[in-house]
Amino acid sequence: MEKRTQLSVILTNAPGELSKLCDVLKAENINILAMSIQNAKDSVKELYNMREKTGRRIALAESYRGILKDSSDYSLIRLLVDKSKEAEKVLMKAKYMVDTDSILVFRLVNQPGMLGKVAKRISEAHVNIDYIYGSAMEDAQESIFVVHIAEADFDKVKDSLQNL
């Protein structure tokens, strides 16, 4: 487990935008190690549907429709790259909206149950996982997972994963 910096970039939700972002990074020899892309409109829809099912919806449907309309033009890209400071500079120079956040990166043995073991230890430390993304090729020895938790909980998580 290591603490790293993740970049969050807002992209226009249109053909070719991801390609342009990748070209900006490639020009500076910056490699993408992990990525998550989330359409803002889909996230708002999921939230609306979830709140409807749980009976916790407090905003009017018209409010959600307005947010859906506004959010349909954008996607959120979360990136783990090999050179985060350089990537942030080059993306900002290229006029992208960029934010950074501290995350934890796990390299796990690529076998069933490993992520579950990590998640269990984190929960036993009473730490909430905000989101997680990762991947591995089917035959790879290792998998990589990016975990976002409150930065104040990093030490608790590190302690909870001793002897794993």
Per the structure, the complete domain to which residue 156 belongs is given by 2-160
Using alpha carbons only, how large is the chain's radius of gyration in Å?
18
Q: What is the pLDDT of residues 15-51, one digit of tens each?
A: 999 999 999 999 999 999 999 988 766 666 666 666 6
Vertex 121: Cα angle to 115 and 123 (nearest 5): 100
Specify the pTM: 0.80
Q: What is the pLDDT of residues 105-152, one digit of tens each?
A: 999 999 999 999 999 999 999 999 999 999 888 899 999 999 999 999
| Weakest-pLDDT range from 7-11, 66-70, 92-96, 154-158 | 66-70
Which pLDDT score, from 0 to 100, does residue 46 have? Answer: 65
Rounded to whole angstroms, how far apart are CA atoms 158 and 152?
Answer: 12
What CATH number does residue 112 fall under? Answer: 3.30.2130.10
Number of domains in the chain: 1
